[in-house]
Structures are given as structure tokens and as C-alpha cells.
Amino acid sequence: MSTSVSTVRVDLGNRTYSISIGSGILDAPESYLGLPPSSACAIVSNTTVAPLFADRLAAALCRIYAKVHVILLPDGEVFKEWTTLQRIFDELLAAKCDRSTTIFALGGGVIGDLAGFAAACYMRGVPYIHVPTTLLAQVDSAVGGKTAINHPRGKNMIGVFNQPTRVIVDVDTLDNLPQRELIAGLAEVIKYGAIVDDEFLVWTDRNLSALIARDKAASIEGVRRSCEIKARIVAEDEREAGRRAILNFGHTFAHAIEAGVGYGGWLHGEAVGCGMLMAADLSARAGLVDRAQVERLARVVREAGLPTRPPPLGVDRFLELMRGDKKAVAGEMKFVLLDGPGSTVVKFVESGMVAATVESFTAGAGPLRQP
């Protein structure tokens, strides 16, 4: 096990849990000590991640649990739907897993959402542990308890808040991550600096090369600081009734991109990278920030290798998809906007101003599908 493990706490009263971040901690048995007692556990993973890490995780868990079941799912955002969720239930029942069974989500955001949602529902709730293997999951989706599946009419429309019992982040798993997915994860790292911590945005900008090169120290520090920011916000507003909404910076635009091209055409982080720039542009149109701040964020996003132009959906289609987003109220669109370095505000925006932003970006639209 790594000699240096960073720990971040998500303070939620009797549901408080820890995020362990380090190198070489995936298959260390001590990473899993103190979990709820059970005779069995189930590892939920996919056909891409399981061949890389499932045996290692199972070997560590075999020292704790009498039985370790592996549930293998297809890989991809397109499979984050009812049929795949039902497959998890089918396999848990076939293995005679009871209500004390602990579920381990081994994979990226899709696996985390599916396994967390299944854990919330199976026998009215069983504990689950996140073992995220993508940068985006390590800094965002594995923390905070949001679980959901997609619906043809919108992303993450059906789901539940269900906090994990623990999160285990081994940055060594990033060594196997395709470069496109690593860069997509950087969008969420950049987001945290943009919305609440300008010093972290400066740090991210200076360390982009090290993060892209998967430098261990830089990766641990980037994940740690990202998790600290999200943990503070979640502790303040677990159910997104107020402050937690700022974590959706760029996401109303991003979800429209993902739904418009079909899930999987753009990775979530790619859509968020572009969506943040559209939200920043809207912030300037609303008179909240100057163009210099917009251009600064655009430079960081561009140098990270993220898309800066949306796909050619057309203005009307783009607006239609945004009005259907779950954050809209009676069809009116609410946005997280910048109102200074490391500062945001959440507000409704007049539709003509939104259309102007969409039109300006789609005039130089990017590819319908990312390479």
C-alpha cells in the first residue's frame, strides 16, 4: 500500500464517509477495513475495466468476504438505462445476495451511477463503495451520492441520492485510461477552480502538462483538492436545494450536447468543457464578468485539449434540449453563471440572451461526434 494516503471527509452526520486517495491502494486489504460486516460482496464493473482491475480487487476483498461475486456490464454511456440496471438486480438475486451484501462500483461514472442506483433499490438498500477508475469519476461522480440512469428525453432523469460508504481512489488506475477520457476528466477539475477557488484554477493551469502526463504527485493533488471542494459543497447542501447547484456550471449546455448527439458521441467531460465556455459567454452577456475572464477560462480549456465549440445541433434544437433539462423550471432555464474569479451565481436568464450565446457558438460548430 502507498505510504502516503490523503483522506478527505464528506461530513454528513451519521452518514459521513471518507475518500482515500493514493497510489497503489486499489488492492491493499487495509483500504477496505472497517466496512459494514457481510459474508458476501458484489463487484459491479464493465467489460473494459474488469479485465484490468477486477481480479486485483477481488483478491483483496476475498480476505474480508467469504464470497465475492463479479457482475459484468457492457461499457458505455448508452448502457446507462433500465435494461442494464435490471441486469444487476437479476445477477444479485441469482447469487442469492441478501440485504447485508456490499456492492463495489469498479469503473467510471456510468458504473458508479448504475451500481449506486442498484444499491439504493436492492432489498430497499444495501451499502456500496466507489472504486473509481477514471479521472472524471475520481474528482466528481464518485463523490456526493448522485445516482441515476438516462432517459431518451434527458440525461440522468431517473435516479436517487444515495451516499456511498467509502470512496477508494487509486490514481494508478489512470495509467490505463485512454487519453481522450483522461482529458475529459480535466473539465471537472477546471470547473472547481472556476466556480469557487481561483487559486486552484491557477494551480490547474500551471500543472496541466503534469496532469496530462499522469504524474502521480500532480494527480493525487488534483484529485484531493477537487474532492475537498466538492465535499464541502455537498456537506452544505446534500440534496441540491441551494449551493450545490453551482456544481452544474456548464452542465445545462453540456447535457443538451450529450442528448443532441446521442449518448456516447461526446464524453460527458468533453461536453462540460464546451458547456463551461458557453456559460462563461452567457455570464459576460449578462454583464456579470468581463471578456478577459471568459478568454482566460477558454485558454485553460483549450490547452487542456477539450472541445471549445459545440456540435452542429442548430439553435432551435439546442434550446429545446435545454428547456427539457431537469434543472429547468416550467420550461424556464436556470444557469450557473460566473460573477467573478472563483465566484458564481445561479439565476434564470432571458431566453433571447441564451439564444445569442448558442447562436454565436454554433456559428463555428465542432464535430457531431468527437474522434
Spatial distance between the Cα atoms of 70 and 42, rounded to a whole number of angstroms: 6
pLDDT of residue 309: 95
pLDDT of residue 155: 84
Q: Which of 88-102, 228-242, 319-333, 346-360 comes out lowest in average pLDDT?
A: 319-333
Q: Which distant-in-sequence residues (6+ apart) come within 8 Å of 251 by Cβ? A: 272, 275, 327, 336
pLDDT of residue 371: 65
The catalytic position among 130, 155, 225, 251 is 251
pLDDT of residue 3: 54
146 is catalytic: yes
As given in the structure block, the three cell numbers for residue 370 are 468527437
The catalytic position among 224, 268, 270, 285 is 268
Q: Which of 61-75, 187-201, 288-302, 331-345 comes out lowest in average pLDDT?
A: 331-345
Q: If pLDDT is split at 50, 70 and 90, which confidence band does 366 have? A: confident
pLDDT of residue 267: 94
As given in the structure block, the three cell numbers for residue 50 are 474488469
Residue 259: CB atoms within 10 A of its CB come to 24
Q: If pLDDT is split at 50, 70 and 90, which confidence band does 298 have? A: very high
80 is catalytic: no
255 is catalytic: yes
What the chain holds in terms of domains, given with CATH numbers, is 6-176 (3.40.50.1970), 179-362 (1.20.1090.10)
Pairing of strands 154-161, 334-340: unpaired
Spatial distance between the Cα atoms of 205 and 50, rounded to a whole number of angstroms: 33
151 is catalytic: no
How many angstroms separate the Cα of 85 from the Cα of each of 53, 107, 161? Answer: 22, 15, 16
pLDDT of residue 261: 92
As given in the structure block, the three cell numbers for residue 161 are 441520492
Which tens digit of pLDDT belongs to each residue from 110-158? 999 999 999 999 999 999 999 999 999 999 999 999 999 998 888 899 9
Mean pLDDT, rounded, of the chain: 94
3-state secondary structure of 91: helix
Under DSSP, the state recorded for 332 is: B
Which tens digit of pLDDT belongs to each residue from 51-110? 999 999 999 999 999 999 999 999 999 999 999 999 999 999 999 999 999 999 999 999
Has residue 166 got a pLDDT over 80? yes
What is the average per-residue pLDDT within 285-308? 97
**Cα dihedral 248→350→267→311 (10° resolution):** -170
Which is more confidently placed, 287 or 368?
287
As given in the structure block, the three cell numbers for residue 60 are 483483496
The catalytic position among 81, 214, 232, 240 is 240
The catalytic position among 255, 258, 270, 285 is 255
As given in the structure block, the three cell numbers for residue 59 are 483478491
230 is catalytic: yes
130 is catalytic: no
